[in-house]
A and B are shown apart, each in its own frame.
Chain A
Amino acid sequence: MDYVFHWNIVFAKMPQLLHGAFVTLHVSVLSMLLGIVIAVLLAIARMSDSKKISLPATIWVEIARNTPALFHIYMAYFGLGAFGIHLSPYFAVLSALVFVNAGYLTETFRGGFQSIPPTQYHASKSLGMTSMQAYMYIILPQMFRRIYHPMTNQFVWSILMSSLGILVGMNELSGETQRLQSLSFRTLEFFIVAAVMYFIITRFVLFAASLIAGRVFRGDV
């Protein structure tokens, strides 16, 4: 044990690390929000009686859940590049995370929808609500409440998986850490600090989510 820690080098690069952390937060929060919207639509599509509507949703879910997230990032970055569509590292990672988030959340949401008695929908319709209104005001609020905890797991997953951006040269926290440590060779110090920052980001996002949940979810479902 004669390793000497040199923290000052890391602290000197704090602005860059913080910037990387911000990009990580940015891409993962955005991927969750977009993933949630798409997953609601996919979950509704999957429950459709029409094969034409449910099949594309099923294919999306099966691919997203049964292949590595890394491959989706490669597909978005290098794969689309082969067809002349050049995404920046940021958008390649964002679209891959959205794709996988939507796939996983679809199954969570589908379970959530199915746990709400169909009579809630009937009661809404009997009051003259359109299907859209019944979903917006009655079904979705109850569904989100029930699947809140599994959904937050996906939040954490997104934050941590955005670190795969390192492989396509994205300047998120891992990419930034990788670049800075290669300049100084203080690998251990940089990655320890980055790990602490990941931890803080996930705790922060979970805390923010619970604050929003506390405001939105009232009553007993």
Chain B
Amino acid sequence: MIEICDVHKSFGDLEVLKGIDLEVKKGEVVSVIGGSGSGKSTLLYCINGIEDIQQGKIVVDEVDVHAKATNQDRLRQKLGMVFQQWNSFPHLTVLENAALAPRIVLKKSKKEATEVARQELTHVGLGDKFDEYPSRMSGGQQQRLAIARALAMKPDYMLFDEVTSALDPELVGEVLDTLRMLRDDGMTMICVTHEIGFAREVSDKVAFFHQGIIEEIGSPEQVISNPCQETTRKFLSKVLH
């Protein structure tokens, strides 16, 4: 379970998160929606400890992410993350991209790591690309590679940071299909997304971020179909056309 309690985060004078409370249970899919600069992505970076926080607490399976004694590298093994820019490792083949972390972080043998990588790559539909270099693939394929690479670490949670925002429109579908598949596998996910239709379809909970706070949270029906806050309605009317 991920518990987020009263989290405040500032970059210099700019307070980006102004007291966020959120709970994500095992097996849940939580979507985070909201305008640019509302702090959605920052929250994900705080959850996996890439960013520190100024106040509050984030606890993942009873471990305080930002406590001094916490080994964040170890914690991140269970928190898979996929970014807006897919960040393939350009000097490695597709298979090496996915097999590297299992080998050097989880200390699996080369054979085992390659096996896990093959499985996950095949799972996301890249079974015929093992020896390809990422630069020869489309954005959608590279994003699926990033997902498989994270899955090869056998994480308990997956954090998705606007994973379709940088894709050409015709490539969005294949990545969303991959996320649907993960949901069906029972993966616990937090998806920061601009795909409102997707959020409505897959989420157990939707959180609407506005200026660093959660303005509204609830089931997709509540938040997306019948929002009670004026700001939520305004936002949705802008993005749903």
What residues make up the interface of A, taking CB atoms closer than 8 Å to B?
117, 119-120, 122-130, 133, 137-138, 141-142, 145, 217-221
Which residues 133-155 of B sit at the A interface, judged by CB distance below 8 A? Answer: 133-136, 146, 149-150, 153
Could you tell me if B48 and A126 are in contact, using CB atoms closer than 8 angstroms? yes
A124 CB to nearest B CB, Å: 8
Say whether B133 contacts A133, CB under 8 Å: no
Give the interface size class of chain B.
20 to 34
* A141 cross-chain contacts in B, Cβ below 8 A: 91
In-complex Cβ contact of B150 among A120, A127, A133, A138 (8 A)? A127
Q: Are A142 and B91 within 8 A (Cβ)? A: yes
Q: Which residue numbers of B lie inside 8 Å of A, CB to CB?
A: 45, 48, 50, 73-74, 76-77, 79-81, 83, 85, 87, 89-93, 100-101, 104-106, 133-136, 146, 149-150, 153
Q: Do A119 and B73 have beta carbons less than 8 Å apart?
A: no
Which chain A residue shows the least CB distance to B135? A220
Q: Is the CB of B93 within 8 A of A133?
A: no
A133 adjacent to B104 (CB under 8 Å): yes
Q: Which residues of A contact B73 (CB under 8 A)?
A: 125, 128-130
Would B77 and A128 count as touching, CB distance under 8 A?
yes
- Chain A to chain B: the 4 pairs with minimum beta-carbon distance, closest first: A123-B87, A128-B77, A127-B101, A126-B81
Interchain CB contact under 8 A, A123 and B83: yes
Complex partner residue of A137 from B45, B104, B136, B146, CB under 8 angstroms? B104
Residue numbers in B under 8 Å from A220 (CB-CB):
90, 133, 135-136
Task: Kindly list chain A residues whose C-beta atoms are within 8 Å of the C-beta of B93.
Answer: 218-219
Residue in B48, B73, B80, B150 whose Cβ sees the most chain A Cβ within 10 Å: B73
Contact pick for A120, options B48, B89, B133, B149, CB 8 Å = B89
> In this complex, which of B74, B91, B100, B105 has the most chain A Cβ atoms within 10 angstroms of its Cβ?
B91
